[in-house]
Amino acid sequence: MIRYGAALALAAVVAAACSGSGDSTVTLYTSVTQATVDAVVAGYEADNPGTDVAVFRAPTGEVAARLEADRRSGAATADVVWLSDPLSMYQYRADGILLAWDPQQAAALPEDLVSGSFWGTRILHLVLVVPAGNPAAVEAWQDLTRPDLAAAIPDPRFAGSAFAALGYFGLEPGFGMDFFAAVRAAGAVQVNSPGDVVTGVAEGRYDAGLTLEFSARTAADKGSPIEVVWPAPAAIAVTSPIAVLAAAEPADAARDFVEHVLSPAGQAAIGESGWTPVRDDAPGPRPPAGASVAYPDWSRIWQEQSGLLDAYAGIFDE
């Protein structure tokens, strides 16, 4: 399983029920943004006054480390895991630690977001960010290989979304690792995170960069002098999966929480927090008309992750 090095500072939050004395507790380990978690948990607890949700929130690598530490010590572990990309879920499924079941609400999800043990909850879009007005006329991913542009990309060894880009480009015909070699040869700078790309473009250090649409849109809404480009041939979609652990106790409450996240109410809370929900009947931000979106083959990416990372390091660590 990939470890996203140099993790951000750990944040652990315990969300208690309004009464502070629920009949049961669901323990959630997650890397999802705080505002989204807060909104979804608040809705669930309001609908289930007998159940509290205890939340441990941290970057993906630290969530994985916490799960492993729990396993080694024999301590009580998470009941539900909600992550920002699917990669770790494939490993957890292979390790046999996920509960196989069939949520009722999963019937409303797109087929490719449904698994026997984890399900997509929201969609993160990888796009290009440019200065307001797009003075360099950036339109496509291939523009990152232009030597006349100062470009930036996030490190896939640090950020899960950046690894999604590595997996997609590395395995996609017409791109491959030659694409990253061309990006590097053109002088692109590697930074830690998608947020660092947004900041660098806003400060005028870069003419373009790969980032999360959410990060760029949020910054632009706050007055940052940047804009989003939905690139050709397609933006890259990253699904944010949720799963119940096989050892969940009480399992019924853990399953109920997942049902809530996938329900119209849970999906609406996700949309209102700024992310694209996976249900078509839930409100939330969507790609603009005419934008194309590609979904990476996460099963293949999981199988080939070591080779992808080694090839990337050979290009950017020279």
Query: H or E element: which one contains 91?
Result: helix 87-95
Q: What domains are defined for the chain?
A: 11-122+239-277 (3.40.190.10), 124-236+291-316 (3.40.190.10)
User: What 8-state DSSP symbol labels residue 262?
Assistant: H
Rounded to 5 degrees, what angle do the CA atoms 148, 153, 159 make? 180
pLDDT by residue (tens digit) across 146-177? 999 999 999 998 888 899 999 999 999 999 99
pLDDT of residue 15: 35
Task: Find the helix or strand (DSSP H, E) in which 52 lies.
Answer: strand 51-57
Which pLDDT score, from 0 to 100, does residue 76 have?
74
Tell me the C-alpha distance between 181 and 177, whole Å. Answer: 6
Mean pLDDT of 196-214: 97
- How many angstroms separate the Cα of 200 from the Cα of each of 63, 157, 191, 219, 235? 28, 19, 9, 12, 21
Phi (first) and psi of residue 19, to 5 degrees = -85, -20
CA distance 123 to 211: 14
Cis peptide before 225 (omega within 30 of 0): no
- Work out the average pLDDT over 4-21: 35
* pLDDT of 22: 52
Residue 252's pLDDT is 95
Query: Over the stretch 112-130, which tens digit does the pLDDT of each residue have?
Result: 899 999 999 999 999 999 9
pLDDT in tens, 39-78: 999 999 999 999 999 999 998 888 989 999 998 898 878 9
Asked if the model's pLDDT at residue 20 lies above 50, the reply is no
Q: Is the pLDDT of residue 21 over 50?
A: no
User: What does the pLDDT look like over 233-277, one tens digit per residue?
Assistant: 999 999 999 999 999 998 999 999 999 999 999 999 999 999 999
Say what the pLDDT of residue 132 is: 98
Which residues, 6 or more positions from 252, have their beta carbon under 8 angstroms from its beta carbon?
Answer: none
Q: Over 70: is that where the pLDDT of 306 sits?
A: yes
- The pLDDT assigned to 161 comes to 86
For the chain, the farthest-separated pair of C-alpha atoms sits apart, in whole angstroms, at 62
Identify the CA nearest to 236 among candidates 276, 207, 274: 276
- Percent of the chain predicted with pLDDT > 70: 93
Q: In whole angstroms, what is the distance from residue 280 CA to residue 295 CA?
A: 17
What is the residue-averaged pLDDT of the chain? 91
Answer whether the bond into residue 285 is a cis peptide, omega within 30°. no
pLDDT of residue 11: 34
